[in-house]
Amino acid sequence: MDQQMNSQAANKLVRIGGASGFWGDSSLGPMQLVRQGDIDYLVFDYLAELTMSILAGARMKRPEEGYAIDFVTVALRSVLKQAVEKGIRIVSNAGGVNPKGCAAAVQALADELGVAVRIAIVEGDDVLPLAAAMRAAGTVGMSNGEPMPERLVTANAYLGALPVAQALDAGADIVITGRCVDSAVTLGVLMHEFGWAPDDFDRLAAGSLAGHIIECGCQATGGLHTDWAAVPDWANIGYPIVECRDDGSFVVTKPADTGGLVSPGTVGEQLLYEIGDPACYLLPDVVCDFRQVRLEQVGPHCVLVTGARGLPPTATYKVSSTAPAGFKVSAQLTIVGIDAAAKAKRTGEALLERGRRLLRENGFADFLATHIELLGTESAYGPLARRFPTREVVLRLTVTHADRRALEMYSREFAAPGTSWSPGTTGSGGRPSVSPVLRQFAWLIAKEQVTPTVTLGETTFTVTLPPPSPQGVAERLAPLEDALPVGPRQTVPLVRIALGRSGDKGDTSNIGLIARHPALLPVLIEQVTPERVKDYLGHLVQGPVHRYELPGIHAINLLCEHALGGGGMASLRNDPLGKGMAQMLLDLPIEVPESLLQELPE
């Protein structure tokens, strides 16, 4: 009997579809996955780091809001009835800062559609009431050591997967959480389905990796892929599915007859996305080691993922909080014609000069910060920009101020260039609106100070975390000793030998690079050094650069500190999330042994 049960467990396959990568993702995902994905679970990730602040602002205006409304009005409205008919269970962090409000809206929708569902609510992540005591105790930022701001708008601990698993154990058809780590909506499903114990760290790391792969939607199926021209049918791109087994292995795929591409390259790029140190990827349930992960193409649009390792988690949760930092206004104008760049630059400077005079005359202090960008002239590249004449430029001007009234007065001036200064001025789009600036502040809180709860129907229970295990240390890998071939070398752009993807964590940019052939990894290690990256991107990166190796997928990961102008809403840049930084780095000139270039397709 035991052998039969073990055999059944080994053969069991759980299919999970990732329907959303952020609040605002396409409505195509849930419909595609429910109708043609043959899935058991549908999971949604909505909560980028600043989304919680946006939701908190919405709830301040209307107490019944504060959750991802699209989850109810668009996603579930289109698929809930069919999902229930097919027995597909749903897990989502759409609850934001108001999981109860989200659950009430889902229940109202279910009643309207005539379907019976059991909805569980996961709470306990809101630690704003604890902030004052934490501040008094001397809590500082986890990355910069700065003291906690005097006023916070939001403060939410990143909960783990155990509450999701226990909600499903209790019989929930739909689980709605507040803030949890993005991958927890998937790991919670797998802990429930396979009965994984909280100390089965290798499996928890594997399940977390499965969640990480699908948490950004189509980024795993060809979205943002370096070789974008090889990705077919963008309009019908397939959303990701993971086929998971009890041993922790899983296959990444997508629904049949959809666009996109699932390959070791597309999956590897997503694996690297925003993970920092791949030997120490910190999550509430496990510390993951992804350095020896292997990716294998096992069929058309099917990639087998194995090799994740896990260590005991830390005794703390990460808290993502936001603090008010004044107000911001940003506007764009298009300048057309001869000398467009020079005309746009002068327009921006004139707007700032006029603005400062207006501030002085009306008794306001100067701007806190200003930023001019000339989109279309490669201004984001700084000294790396290629200088060429262009006859169409978009002026982007952003300013910040401590007083909203100052910017409301100043914003009226953005229409004036239409008749005042440069010929060929157009595309103003009207008077820009003033918005609050929220600065991110991350800190750590002991897990015993946080109490996750699950509510299902009239029953609420506390989720008890397992006792802490002694902290482990990731296995030290032998240094890569592959010698590069001697002989002539050819200088090529980095993109010729590597794939790349970048993302953000606060003010830190994460740039992952995958060698296009395993033999080219030593080239990356030899030439893409932290020092060279810091020099090449020095106009953007103000802090140190750290490099980590992932020999399992012949990749390196670069962590660039103080690289995003404050990051998120605090940044004045057109690219506050660093999405373009990998694309910039892929132009880096690399000297490659000619014999290795022969390994690559033309």
- What is each CA distance from 475 to 45, 280, 292, 553, in whole angstroms? 31, 11, 11, 17
> The tokens of 472 are what?
């482990």
pLDDT attached to residue 9? 65
Where are the chain's structural domains? 11-124+159-314, 334-422, 489-597
What does the pLDDT look like over 163-199, one tens digit per residue? 999 999 999 999 999 999 999 999 999 999 999 999 9
SS (H, E, C) 31-73: HHHHHHCCCCEEEECCCCCCHHHHHHHHHHHCCCCCCCHHHHH
pLDDT-flagged residues of the chain (< 50) = none
Q: Which residues pair with 489 in a beta bridge?
A: 593
pLDDT attached to residue 481? 67
Q: Is 138 left (phi over 0), alpha (psi -120 to 50) or beta?
A: left
Q: What does pTM read for this prediction?
A: 0.95
pLDDT attached to residue 539? 96
Q: Which of 436, 432, 435 is nearest to 411 (CA)?
A: 432
- What is each CA distance from 533 to 377, 491, 494, 588, in whole angstroms? 22, 17, 12, 9
pLDDT attached to residue 373? 97
pLDDT attached to residue 428? 85
Q: Quote the percentage of the chain above a pLDDT of 70.
A: 98
Degrees, nearest 5: CA angle 576-17-20: 30
> The tokens of 21 are what?
């990568």
